[in-house]
Amino acid sequence: LRMIAGFETPTEGAIRLEGADVSRTPPNKRNVNTVFQHYALFPHMSVWDNVAYGPRSKKKDKGEVRKRVDDLLEIVRLTDFAERRPSQLSGGQQQRV
């Protein structure tokens, strides 16, 4: 699974997704999603701030970050939990963050 996701490179053979060899394709360029057992959330930050961490680290405009995070929380039905800490969420809710 780690090789399919691109986190490890095979030493021989090929990994094909939908017929295409993706053995040397970076993880972010593969049409694969990974849900980790440990959610790697910042325990001292709110759900909203955890979701905003990525766009903020890329120096995105504050308004753009706000809209994107709000939209994402709505999609995963966590809008009402935006100000909670990860420890206040169920495992399934943490996974959706």
Domain extent listing, the chain: 1-34, 47-96
2: left (phi over 0), alpha (psi -120 to 50) or beta: alpha
Reading the chain (97 residues) residue by residue, the pLDDT tens digits are 889 988 888 999 999 999 999 998 888 888 887 777 777 899 999 999 999 998 888 888 999 999 999 999 999 999 999 999 999 999 999 999 9
Please tell me the number of Cα atoms within 13 Å of 96 on its side-chain side: 17
**Considering the entire predicted model, what is its pTM?**
0.65
DSSP 72-97: HHHHTT-GGGTTS-GGGS-HHHHHH-
